[in-house]
Amino acid sequence: MVRSISVRKLVTVQDLSVEDIMLILKLAEHYKLHVKSSTMYDKPLTGRIVGLYFELPSTRTRLAFGVATFILGGNVIYLRKDELQLKRGETLEDTIRILSRMLNALVVRVLDHDRLLKIAEYSEIPVINGLTRMYHPTQALTDIFTIREFKGFRRDIKIAYVGDGYNNVCHSLLLACSKVGLNITVACPIGYEPDRKVVKMAEENSEISNCVVDIVHDPIEAVKNADVIYTDVYVSMGTEKEREKRLRDFEGWTITKELLKHAKKDYIFMHCLPAHRGEEVASDILDDPKHSVVWVQAENKLYIAMSLLTLLL
């Protein structure tokens, strides 16, 4: 019997205890082994229905939770805002009350984080944050699962996130790394720093886990002797109107072979995808078979999704 984690609604990584995170990773590892070896016989979601409510585009998160539910024996219903009575004026609260009575869990992707909080408040079933403008917890759990797979959780490991700091992936990665004791340095241009409240939470986590959380404005400083190099797009969902300004502000911040000369020789490169090739990362870095782990990273979201659904349900 798999024990559950301490929360029923995953809004941010900060909601999870270290014990919760390690249990999620351990079960994801178990599922990856058995799915890969075609020995996946357990069907803990038999008779369960998972709703995927997405107001924004999704490839990996939608696919991961859909496939995970099917593998675990459950069924999926995909819900779009423009196909629900929300389009005709029904309140979000009323809609969530109805979904709670017909579904067993809800994976939600909305831009406004307060909207996600309202959904979690009115839901009577487990809710998983599948992305908001502020946080992307399932991505961060996938990321540290991938880091552990390739590098382990060594005390001396250094993770360098280079790019837009005020970013849902960066925010969640700061929280996840600081929770489990992984050193992380975020490098971003001035004006693109992570949210101060998130940094404060990460720093408080790091005091307990005894790791380093650092925010700098020099990509070379961040990448120097790093084990893991991570980046994300400069123009995230919700910032499309700022595209031209952002591309100017991030000029010279592209992850290239020249920059990565400062990293450890056995570094791994990570990206949550989708990537804008030639903007935040050069194609030869993304496709580098020796260092890039982005395709394994993307696949690993499936096993994290399987783990979360099992533990929450």
139-150 pLDDT per residue, tens: 999 999 999 999
Shared domain check, 167 and 130: no
Q: Is the pLDDT confidence value at 2 over 70? A: no
Half-sphere CA count of 209, side-chain side, radius 13 A: 27
14-63 pLDDT per residue, tens: 999 999 999 999 999 999 999 989 888 889 999 999 999 999 999 999 99
Is residue 155 a contact partner of residue 181, using CB atoms and an 8 Å limit? Answer: yes
Q: CA–CA separation, 135 vs 288, rounded Å? A: 28
Question: Which residues are CB-contacts of 32 (< 8 A; sequence separation ≥ 6)?
Answer: 300, 303
Shared domain check, 154 and 125: no
Half-sphere CA count of 6, side-chain side, radius 13 A: 10
Question: Which residues are CB-contacts of 246 (< 8 A; sequence separation ≥ 6)?
Answer: 164, 234, 235, 239
Residue 2 lies in a domain: no
Shared domain check, 209 and 255: yes
For residues 90-109, give the mean pLDDT: 97
Residue 37 lies in a domain: yes
Shared domain check, 190 and 75: no
Which tokens go with 107?
A: 């994976």
Shared domain check, 128 and 184: no
In this structure, the number of other CB atoms found within 10 A of the CB of residue 258 comes to 10
Residue 1 lies in a domain: no
Shared domain check, 83 and 18: yes
Residue 268 lies in a domain: yes
Residue 263's domain spans which residues? 139-295
Residue 4 lies in a domain: no
pLDDT value of residue 40 = 85
Shared domain check, 171 and 42: no
Its pTM stands at 0.96
Shared domain check, 80 and 57: yes
Residue 259 lies in a domain: yes
Is residue 49 a contact partner of residue 60, using CB atoms and an 8 Å limit? Answer: no
Shared domain check, 305 and 250: no
Shared domain check, 179 and 158: yes
Confidence of residue 1 (pLDDT cuts 50, 70, 90): low
Residue 3 lies in a domain: no
Q: What is the CATH number of the domain that holds 192?
A: 3.40.50.1370
Residue 254 lies in a domain: yes
How many structural domains compose the chain?
Answer: 2
Shared domain check, 184 and 143: yes
Shared domain check, 101 and 14: yes
For residues 258-271, give the mean pLDDT: 98
pLDDT value of residue 29 = 97
For the residues of 247-309, what is the DSSP string, one character each?
A: HHHTTT--B-HHHHTTS-TT-EEEE-S---BTTTB-HHHHT-TTTB-HHHHHHHHHHHHHHHH
153-169 pLDDT per residue, tens: 999 999 999 999 999 99
For residues 216-243, give the mean pLDDT: 95
